[in-house]
Amino acid sequence: MKSVFYRVFSRYVLLILFLAIVIFLFSYSMIRTNHINTLSTSLENLAISLEDRILEYFQSGDYRQLDQYVKEKGKHINSRITVVHPDGRVLADSDADPNTMPNHRDRPEIEEALNGNVGKIVRFSTTIQKKMLYVSLPLIQDTTIVGILRLSLFLEDINAFLATLRNRYLLITFVFILIAMIVAFLFSRNLSKPIKDLVNTSRRIVEETLDITYSENPQNEITFLANNFDEMAAQISRLFAKTTRQKEELKAVISAIQEAVVVLNEEGKITLYNNSFAKLAGKEALKNENVYDVMPRVFTDMLSLVDQKNRYYTQEIMIHGDIYLCSMNCLKTRKEIVVLFHNVTELKNLQQIKHDFIANVSHELRTPLTSIKGFVETLLEEDKSPETSRYLTIIKRNTDRLIHIVEDLLILSEIEEQDVSLKTESLNPLSLLENILSIFKQKIDEKGLTLILDFPHDIPPLEADEFRLEQLFVNVIDNAIKYTEKGTIKVSAWSDETFIHFSVADTGIGIPKEDLTRIFERFYVVDKSRSRRLGGTGLGLSIVKHIVILHGGTLHVESEKNKGTTFYINLPLHHTAST
C-alpha cells in the first residue's frame, strides 16, 4: 500500500501542474489577443490621423504624389500603408509598386470598409507572402466612399514580442511551480503524519489492541483530530471492556436460570441459549443452528404466531412428555424472538389432582346431602313443635347451602375440563334474557326494585351454548338482585360487527376497589356475613368467568362502593373456543 505522504504529495503535484498549464495557456491567449487588439486600435488611430491628407490627394486626383506620400509616411510609422480605389485598384502602397499589385476588391478588410465599417483582420498577404494584421478605414467625402485607407503590420514582428513575453512568462510559471511543489511537499509531510497516525490507530482498533498514547498540544486541526481519535479509541476500549463484562454477566445469569431460554433471529437460527434449553433440545452445540431442526413441530408452529404486530404470545405445549408454558416475546428493534420455557408439569398434575378431588368429593357429598335434606323435610312435616321446627329449619337451610356449593363445584369442575365442548347453536339473545328475567320477576317485585331493559330490536343471532349462557346470566343477575336493596337493575345489550356486548348494572352496595381483582376467584366473597345470609357460595362469578372464556369472550367489572356495580360481558357472534 502506498504511503499517505506519496498519495497526498502526488495529488498536489498533479493539481499544481494542471493549474499552472491552464493558467499559462489562458493568460498567454488573453495577452496575445489584447496585444493584437491594442495594435489594431493604434493602427486605426494612425489611419484617422492620415485620413485628411490622403483625401486632399483624392480631390486633386494626383495619385502619383499620393504614392510618394504613402511611401514616405510608411518609413516613418513602421507600418505598411495602402490606398485602394472603391473598385479595388491599388492607388498607392508604401512597400510595393501599386501598378503591379492585383485588384484588392475581394480582400475581407476592404469589403468591410466598403460597407462603411472599420475592417480588422489577421491573414496571409498574397502580395508579400507573409501573415499580417490589417486595419482598413473608409475614406468618405460628401457621404460617399471615395477610397479605402489600409494600414498593416507584419505578424512576425508581433510574434517576436509575444515570444519574448512567453519566455518570461514560462520562467515565472516554472518558478511558481517550483515554489508550489516545495510548499506542497512541506504541507503533505505535515498532513500525512497525523493521517498516518489515524490509520495506525484505526488498525489497532480493528485488531482490538487499544493501548494507545497520543501527543498533546495539537498544532492544527488534523493533529487535533488525531488526538481526539486516540482518545475516542481509549474510550471505546473502556466500553468494550464494560460490554464484555456485562455480556459475561448476562451469560452467567441466563445459564443460572432453571427455565429453558433461547433467542432466535428472524431466520429462525439460535443466537443465544442456556444449558436448560440445550438439555431440552437434546444437543450441546446449538449456536447458529436452525430451531426447526432441533425442536418438535408443536413448538415451531408457534413461531408463525409471533411477529412485529403480535409481539407477545403464550401457550402451553407438551415436549417429551412434559408440559411447558411457552412464552414468546418479539424484540421489535432487533427482529429477534426471546422464548422462555417454564415446566408446569408438576403444577398441572397438582391442578388435576385438585380438580379430581373436588369433583369426586362433590359427587360423594351430593347423595348424603340430598338424603339429609329429605329426612329433615320429613321431620318438619311430622314434628310440629316450635323448638324442634326451629332447629330443623336451620339444618335444612345449611343443608341447602351445602347442596348449592356442591352443585356449583360440579358445574365449575365440568366447565374447567380441558376437553369440554360447547353445544353451540344459533339463538336469539333477547329471548334468552327475557326468559331468564322472568325467573327473577318475583324477587325483583318483593324488593321493590325497578327493572330497566335496554335492548335494540336489530341484534343479530348469537352462536353459543344456550344452557351455559343461562348459567352465566342467572349468576350475574342473581348477584345484582341479592346485593341491591333499592334502586334499579338495568340489563342492556348492543352489537357491532364481531361482538354482542351485554351489561348488567345495579345500584347496590358496590365492590371495594381492592376486591375487584379477586371477585372471580373460587369461594371469594366481599361481604362474608351477608353472603352466608343470602345463601351465596362464592363460586358463581368463577363459573361466569369460565363460561365467558369457553365462548372466547371477555369480561370486566366496574364498581364503586355504595353506588353500584356493572358487569360487562362481550361475546363473539361466531363461537371460537379459547384455550
Chain segment 178-229, per-residue pLDDT in tens = 888 888 777 777 766 666 666 666 666 666 555 555 455 445 566 666 677 6
On whether both 31 and 154 belong to a single domain, the answer is yes
Instruction: Kindly state whether residues 27 and 84 are assigned to the same domain.
Output: yes
User: What pLDDT shows up at residue 568?
Assistant: 92
Give the containing element (helix H, strand E) for 355.
helix 345-382
Chain segment 1-28, per-residue pLDDT in tens? 456 667 777 777 888 788 878 877 787 7
In a domain, 204, yes or no: no
Q: How far is CA 578 from CA 79, 501, 542, 551, 572, in A?
A: 115, 18, 16, 7, 11
pLDDT attached to residue 541 = 78
- What pLDDT score does 578 carry? 46
Residues 510, 403 within the same domain? no
Least confident piece of the model among 75-79, 138-142, 531-535, 565-569:
531-535
Q: What pLDDT is attached to residue 324?
A: 85
What mean pLDDT is predicted for residues 460-470?
85
Is residue 376, in this structure, part of any structural domain at all? yes
In this structure, the answer to whether residues 278 and 323 fall within a common structural domain is yes
Residue 579 is predicted with a pLDDT of 41
Report which listed range, 55-69, 420-434, 485-499, is most confident. 485-499
- 9 domain residue, yes or no: yes
Q: Which of 395, 415, 435 is the last residue of a domain?
A: 415
Residue 250 lies in a domain: no
- The count of other CB atoms within 10 Å of the CB of residue 447 is 14
- The CATH number assigned to the domain holding 449 equals 3.30.565.10
Tell me if 500 sits within 8 A of 571, measured CB to CB. Answer: yes
Q: What is the pLDDT of residues 497-554, one digit of tens each?
A: 888 999 999 998 888 887 777 777 766 665 554 444 555 556 777 778 888 888 888 8
- Domain boundary among the residues 388, 415, 442 is at 415
What is residue 537's predicted lDDT score, i.e. its pLDDT? 56
What pLDDT is attached to residue 422? 72
Domain tally for the chain? 4
Measured CA to CA, the distance from residue 121 to residue 130 in angstroms comes to: 14
pLDDT band at 242 (very low <50, low <70, confident <90, very high): confident
Is a pLDDT exceeding 60 seen at residue 144?
A: yes
Looking at residue 502, its pLDDT comes to 92
pLDDT of amino acid 308: 54
- 300, amino acid identity: T
Instruction: Say yes or no: 9 and 157 in one domain.
Output: yes
> Percent of the chain scored above 70 by pLDDT?
77
325/367 same-domain check? no
Among 120, 148, 142, 162, smallest CA distance to 30 is for 162
HSE, side-chain direction, 13 A CA sphere, residue 439: 12
pLDDT band at 566 (very low <50, low <70, confident <90, very high): very high
The residue among 513 and 407 whose pLDDT is bigger is 513
The domain that holds 376 is classified in CATH as 1.10.287.130
Q: Can you give the residue range of the structural domain that contains 403? A: 348-415
Which tens digit of pLDDT belongs to each residue from 334-384? 678 888 888 888 777 776 666 666 666 666 666 676 777 676 777 777 766
Question: Which tens digit of pLDDT belongs to each residue from 293-347?
Answer: 888 888 877 777 776 556 777 888 888 888 888 888 887 766 788 888 888 887 7
Establish if 225 belongs to a structural domain. no
428 and 547, same domain (yes or no): yes
Write out the DSSP string of 509-578: S---GGGGGGTTSTT--SSHHHHHHHT--S-HHHHHHHHHHHTT-EEEEEEETTTEEEEEEEEESS----
Contact 84, 109 (CB under 8 A): no
Which segment of 107-116, 357-366, 417-426 scores lowest on mean pLDDT? 357-366
370 plus 327 within the same structural domain: no
Residue 248 is assigned to a structural domain of this protein:
no
- 219 belongs to a structural domain: no
- State whether 501 and 398 are in the same domain: no
Q: Any idea what the CATH number is for the domain that residue 43 is in?
A: 3.30.450.20
Residue 404 CB partners (closer than 8 Å, separation 6+):
535, 537
477 and 547 part of one domain: yes
Residue 113 lies in a domain: yes
Q: Which of 23, 24, 19, 29 is nearest to 162 (CA)?
A: 29
Same domain, 61 and 113: yes
75 and 136 in a single domain? The answer is yes
Domain finish residue from 136, 161, 186? 161
